[in-house]
Structure formats: C-alpha cells, structure tokens
C-alpha cells in the first residue's frame, strides 16, 4: 500500500546518496516529499529532488504559507526519514528548533521518525552529539549508528552514511509495523548469521548452505525497533544492515569466542548462524591431491557448541533464541535441543525439502522453555523475525504479554 514519506536531507557531503534512497522509496510505490535544508541544496539542487520525487521542493515555512506546509506535510506523513542527519540537524531536532521547513515538519510528525547520521568521527563521538542522539532516542526516534568506512578526503572511521538500500530496508520495516514507539529501545541484542567453515586445506572446507538472510532479517528488524545490534556474521555475502555493528568470523571457534565476548552486555542473543559441527583433526598446509587410490580418510572432531556455551553462561534476565534446522521429527528434536542448550526459545525449521536456506521467506514453529508453541506461517523472513522479537519482549522481566 502506498504510504506518505517525508525525506529530510541535511547539509552534508552524503546528501547525494539520498537520491538513491529516494529512488528506492518511490520504486516501492511510496509518495515521497523531499525537504532539504539550505545547506543540502549547496550539494544537490532542488530540480534534482523535484524531478526524482515529482513533488515541489522548498526549505522555508513561508512558501505556500496559506497551506501551513509544515503542519500539512507532517500530519500526512506515515514516516519521516532524515538522511543524512548531520550533527547540526540532530542538535536542532533534539532541542525542538523549528527554524526551517524540515525541523518544523519534524515537530508535527506523529508517525515513526528515522535518523541516519553522517559526519566525521570526531563530531559523532563528541559528547554534545551523543547527548542529542540519546535525547532523540528517548523520545521514540530511531537513530541509526553510522557506518565505518571512507569519509571525506582521506579520512576513515565511524561516521559514514549507511548504505541507502539498507536505510530503505529499515524504513520499510517501520512502515510495515507502524509502531511509533520502538519497543527494543535501550536494548543491546547480539545476532549471529551465516555458516561457519572448517578448512581441510587452503582450498576446501566443511560448511553448510546458510546464506545469512534470516540472521540479517533479525538484525534489520531489531534496528527498526530501536535496538543496538551487534551482528556476528560468518562468511556472509550480504550488505551490512544500516546501523549494525558487524563482527566478521570464519570458523566455529571464532564464532564461539565472538559471541561470548559480547554476551556480558547483551539483553538477548539470537543464534541464527549455522555452525559447522565438525572440523578436521589435522589441517593440510598444501592442497590435498587426488590419487588413483582415493584420499586418505579424514578424521574429524566436534567443534565448540556455541549455543550451549551461551545457555550455560547467560543470566536469567538475558534471553537466548536458538535455531533447529531438522529433516525429521522436527518438533521433538527441537524440544530436546531447547532443553539441552538451556535456551528460552527454539525456532524449528523443516529443511527436508531444501527449504529455508537462501530463500527470502520462511515458516517455523517457535517453542518456548515454558512449553508454549507459536506457529509462524510462511512469510518474509523479516515477518518471522518480528514475531520472534515480540516473544522476546514479553519474556524480559517486568514485561507482560
């Protein structure tokens, strides 16, 4: 269903990337009104925004004053996005300034508001900026963490605008849920994704077919609901979700160490990655050659059980969600895994017919430690993730169904 979106563009060099975000939103069928600041128009002119959006562009509240534009536009908006959100824009929004059309409109929006910051590392880390971000988040806005990468000139660090496609993905989740108050705000969640690899030699490895899509869906939906997300990705070829802190690992041992390192500060851990269960006893420094007699037998040992390690180390307040990809006796095997790993929820997938891996949708049975069962019909993986997050929110102390 087409929705009304306000796209605010502040005066930073990353303003040109907002054109890609605008294109993705309009191609999704949404009506987008672009409101740049005066500074933004020094980077990208009004004709560009008008041509791409099909709507007029102005920066002040006096043009078309008879229609009181900041009130009319804000009331119509199902979502407001500011990308890039500069340090100056964040400061003005946090203090309730209304000295141009964008900031005045932000005060009238009653739907979700999403800020995608972009600035130099020093500006992002300054106590004033961090205080402004905290203020906006406390009021229900979703403020993404900037990406790490090349900034202006030769500088590299945290402060880069996240990928426009990933900002659009977060925006779509906010529109899908239509919930102004992010219910994961103030929470830190750790999500694992992908499949680990155990190398036999420099060329070959033991692994699995996990694409990482379900774990990334958990990360995106958590970000849209206001969480701070640490995404531990194992051999995943997907763009980083906007706002996530991404930790890359290769083997099961590396996954084990990374998850336990981030566990102390986590409110929830979602183990969507598919760890390899075995590794070779010996690694060959050179490629194992094919011979007419066939290869020598490869001796295997089990890898660390990451989920069990988390289940045995977490506190009662921390929530652990694990996955069970099964080919037979799906529910029975999942229940056994839930108990053995000391998890709070297990998401059971039937993969007998090659389902789930690499697909954009999923169906599952979620079993809780208290014995309750939630059936999730086949839907987009983001929809499944949101359903599981609903269960996690109700599990935290002080929250009820």
pLDDT at 357: 67
Q: How far is CA 51 from CA 9, 45, 55, 57, in A?
A: 16, 10, 8, 10
Distance CA 365, CA 370 (A): 14
Rg of the chain (C-alpha set) = 23
**Low-confidence residues in the chain, pLDDT < 70:** 1, 66, 179-180, 353-358, 398-401
pLDDT at 61: 85
User: In sequence order, what are the residues at sequence separation of 6 or more whose Cβ sits closer than 8 angstroms to the Cβ of residue 377?
Assistant: 363
**115 closest CA partner among 9, 231, 254:** 9
- Would you state the structure tokens that stand for residue 363, as one six-digit string? 């169906």
pLDDT at 24: 97
Distance CA 37, CA 19 (A): 15
Catalytic status, residue 208 = yes
Total length of the chain: 401
User: In sequence order, what are the residues at sequence separation of 6 or more whose Cβ sits closer than 8 angstroms to the Cβ of residue 297?
Assistant: none
- CATH 3.40.50.10300 domain extents, the chain: 188-395
3-state secondary structure at position 349 = strand
Q: What pTM was estimated for this model as a whole?
A: 0.90
Tell me which CATH homologous superfamily contains domain 4-177. Answer: Flavin prenyltransferase-like (3.40.50.1950)
Q: Using the 8-state DSSP alphabet, how is residue 145 labeled?
A: P
Tell me which CATH homologous superfamily contains domain 188-395. Answer: CoaB-like (3.40.50.10300)
* Beta-ladder partners of 135: none
How many CA within 13 A on the CB side of residue 141? Answer: 25
Quick: pLDDT tens for 204-254.
999 988 899 999 999 999 999 999 999 999 999 999 999 999 999 999 999
Q: How far is CA 15 from CA 10, 43, 85, 291, 341, in A?
A: 7, 7, 9, 59, 47
pLDDT at 198: 95
pLDDT at 401: 41
Distance CA 371, CA 107 (A): 45
| N- to C-terminal Cα separation, the chain | 29
* Beta-ladder partners of 205: 199
Options 132, 208, 333, 349, the catalytic residue:
208
pLDDT at 296: 79
- CATH 3.40.50.1950 domain extents, the chain: 4-177
Query: Torsions phi, psi of 371, nearest 5?
Result: 95, -10
pLDDT at 400: 43
Distance CA 255, CA 162 (A): 25
Quick: pLDDT tens for 346-369.
999 887 765 566 688 888 999 999
Quick: pLDDT tens for 258-269.
999 999 999 999
DSSP collapsed to 3 states, 239-252: CCCCCCEEEEECCH
pLDDT at 197: 96
Sign of CA pseudo-dihedral 352, 353, 357, 362: negative
Distance CA 354, CA 210 (A): 11
3-state secondary structure at position 34 = strand
pLDDT at 1: 67
- Would you state the structure tokens that stand for residue 100, as one six-digit string? 């141009």
pLDDT at 154: 82
3-state secondary structure at position 143 = strand
């Amino acid at each position: 269903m087409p929705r009304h979106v306000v796209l605010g563009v502040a005066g930073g060099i990353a303003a040109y990337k907002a054109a890609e975000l605008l294109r993705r939103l309009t191609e999704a069928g949404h009506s987008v009104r672009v409101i740049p600041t005066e500074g933004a128009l020094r980077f990208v002119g009004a004709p560009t925004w008008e041509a791409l959006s099909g709507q007029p562009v102005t920066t002040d509240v006096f043009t078309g004053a008879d229609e009181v534009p900041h009130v009319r536009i804000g009331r119509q908006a199902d979502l407001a996005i500011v990308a890039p959100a500069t340090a100056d824009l964040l400061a003005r929004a946090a203090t309730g300034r209304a000295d141009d059309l964008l900031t005045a409109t932000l005060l009238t929006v009653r739907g979700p508001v999403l800020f995608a910051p972009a600035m130099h590392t020093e500006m992002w880390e300054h106590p004033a900026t961090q205080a402004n971000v905290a203020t906006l988040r406390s009021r229900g806005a979703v403020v993404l963490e900037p990406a790490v990468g090349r900034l202006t000139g030769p500088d590299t660090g945290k402060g880069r605008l996240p990928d426009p496609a990933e900002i659009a993905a977060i925006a779509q989740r906010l529109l899908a849920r239509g919930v102004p108050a992010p219910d994961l705000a103030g929470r830190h969640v750790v999500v694992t994704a992908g499949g680990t690899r155990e190398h036999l030699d420099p060329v070959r490895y033991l692994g699995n077919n996990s694409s990482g899509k379900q774990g990334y869906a958990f990360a995106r939906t958590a970000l849209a609901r206001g969480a701070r997300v640490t995404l531990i990705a194992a051999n995943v070829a997907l763009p980083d979700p906007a706002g996530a802190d991404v930790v890359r690992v290769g083997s099961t041992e590396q996954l084990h160490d990374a998850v336990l390192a981030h566990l102390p500060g986590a409110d929830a851990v979602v183990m969507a990655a598919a760890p390899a269960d075995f590794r070779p006893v010996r690694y060959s420094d050179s490629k194992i050659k094919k011979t007419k007699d066939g290869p020598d037998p490869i001796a295997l040992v089990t890898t660390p059980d990451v989920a069990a390690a988390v289940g045995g180390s977490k506190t009662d307040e921390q929530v652990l969600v694990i996955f069970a990809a099964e080919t037979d006796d799906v529910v029975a095997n999942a229940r056994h895994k839930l108990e053995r790993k000391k998890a709070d929820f297990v998401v059971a997938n039937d993969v007998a017919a090659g389902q789930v891996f690499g697909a954009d949708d999923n169906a599952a049975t979620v079993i809780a430690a208290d014995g309750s069962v939630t059936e999730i019909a086949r839907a987009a993986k983001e929809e499944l993730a949101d359903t599981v997050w609903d269960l996690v929110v109700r599990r935290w102390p002080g929250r009820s169904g």
